[in-house]
Chain A
Amino acid sequence: MNRNSPFYWILMVLSSLVLLFLIAPLLGMFLKTGLGEFFETAKDKEVQESVWLTVWVSFAATFVFAIAAVPFAWLLARKSFPLKNIVNGIIDLPIVLPHTAAGIALLGFISRDGFLGKAASLVGLNLVNNSGGIALAMAFVSLPFLINSARDGFASVPERLEKAGLNLGASPARVFFTISLPLAWRSITTGFVMMFARGMSEFGAVVIIAYHPMIAPVLIYDRFNSFGLSYARPAAVLFIIIALVVFTLLRLLSVRRVTSVTEKKYADS
């Protein structure tokens, strides 16, 4: 585009404003947080436990749900079935629901009166105010990111490759694990990272299910509510930094090329 064009400059200004809107609040928060109070907050055991709880529960929720969601995504990419469009709509539903409403819906399901709550109580587990309940709340609102990304990844794998695998005598399961999954791996990992990151940052649904134990977003809210902005800010900065580090590490992992089972098996032989 011609740099002398007024349209070019209008685009530049508008883009800069959008970027500024995204960066300015975060930058302001970082600049207003002194190093002393930052490190003091980092040493705070309550904060450390909260961040750790957030990271591992979100990761566990993503990992456990991925076991079912990834094959489900393959099904959505490959098979036609009645009401498929409605199923696709249901998958996207958590994205458009107010998250507190999602939390309320989930609470009805996992409380002692709910179906899952009753089942859990049979084995002595109370999902409300429990890391299990937090994981369910995180998964409920973040699953669409994994399913949609994995479905797009499977759809981009040429179906002929799967057919070629079957034609060579492999079982459908072997074709899935040796061809479909490795070739869709990048999209699946991206979806995994997105689900994990979205789960970590969830507040609305989780706060309905479990105020305690406190995940980081709830802790930040609690500190803001009880002690004000300046007390909540260092915890928020710390959580953002940790989230960014984890997010970047997982993204880097997803770039790594996946070698096939066959290659690995025979590479050294």
Chain B
Amino acid sequence: MLILKNISKKFDKFRLIDINIEISEGTYYILLGRSGSGKTQLLELIAGLNRPDSGDIWLDGENITNKKIQERRIGLVFQDYAIFPNMTVFGNIAYSLNSGKLDKIQVKESVLKIATQLNISHLLERNTHYLSSGELQRVALARTLITSPRLLLLDEPMASIDANLKDDVKKLLRHLNRQGLTIIHVTHDYREAVSLAGRVGVIHNGRIIQEGDPEDVFRKPVNKFVARYSGIRNFFRVEFHKVNGEWKAFGKDNLVFNLQGNSYPARGMLIIRSEDIRIFSKMPSTDPANCFKGVVREIVPSESGMEIAVDTGETFYVDISVDTFKQLQINELSEVWICFPSEAVTALKVEE
């Protein structure tokens, strides 16, 4: 288990503040944050490339805060892979074994084994200058995994690889995690978190602002930043009022949202996830709590199918499957109805 306890560290123009994280063995932990949020710096503190100004880092019951990098057995794969350009692929992977403890045959066998697992055995004699970014990433992973790390740290592993290779890399990382390897994966892309994470931490301006399992973090964001960051596009500034004993939110252009719950601030923000909104070509006969008539302004392909922008005075983004889209037979400027239940509405206090 990795425990970060009250970690703070000042850098030139930036600081990590009071970081507290506990990561159980075998967890796939995603640290989500924008560039400059401090996620890479936090990884480097865990790996030992820097030391915290205060706080402690515990790994498997041992305080490793002041332990040397080379003795931590924490593997770090850098964002740009940091492949040694003066060595072949073999030289890179064998680097950690080349300390005289193993003979040449053992080194060759170990390198071949890990290279075969990662499907790069055909590259072993190659110069690293001519490798693609996907191949470089596998070399960096092999070079790290051959050390049998207690913990694997990945800095933006998907950032430099082609879109068509991302699924392969995700499969590989998921496979490694299922074999029991604890992974901390830093990214700015919430979709990686959704597809890989067992646990998510959102870091912003050097602080962990929300932590939990992905469902909790993405369904119940603690503030607007986390909500927007997790890919939710439907935000509406509203005022909350109780009408006839029921809470309602009043937005622009007389939009009135029906809400659940019994306590709201005077002003706030409403969030509705795109996939929670249903779209109809006619007013539905059923009675969802919230239904609005609008005009289709834009239709663009999305990860889950199609994203439809509907103007009801406010713009709503609705995610639907391709099949649903075909059934609806809608075009830009079509009149549609969008509906969602009151449970789909998350209310947030406005940040001043």
Contact = CB atoms under 8 A, between A and B. Distances in A.
A165 B87 CA distance: 12
A94 interface: no
Interface string B66-98: 000111011110101010111110110011101
Interface in B156-175: none
B230 to A, nearest CB: 30
Nearest to A259: B86
Contact of A174 (B44, B48, B85, B99): B99
Dominant SS at the A interface? helix
Contact of A179 (B86, B99, B107): B86
Interface string A134-166: 000000000000000000000000101101111
B9 interface: no
B347 interface: no
Contact of B98 (A164, A167, A265): A265
Nearest to B81: A164
Contacts of A2: none
Contact of A266 (B48, B86, B90, B147): B90
Given A265-B98, A266-B107, A266-B108, A168 B147 contact: yes
Interface string B110-143: 0000000000000000000000000000000001
B277 to A, nearest CB: 45
A224 B76 CA distance: 66
A262 B69 contact: no
Contacts of A171: 70
A262 B104 contact: no
B86 to A, nearest CB: 5
B104 A167 contact: no
Contact of B82 (A160, A169, A262, A269): A160
Contacts of B143: 168
B337 to A, nearest CB: 54
A183 B84 CA distance: 9
B289 interface: no
Interface string A248-269: 0000000000111011011001
10 contacts: A164-B76, A167-B76, A168-B95, A169-B147, A170-B99, A179-B84, A183-B85, A263-B86, A266-B108, A269-B105
Give the 8 A-B residue pairs with the shortest CB-CB distance, closest first: A262-B91, A164-B82, A168-B96, A166-B69, A160-B82, A260-B87, A182-B86, A269-B104
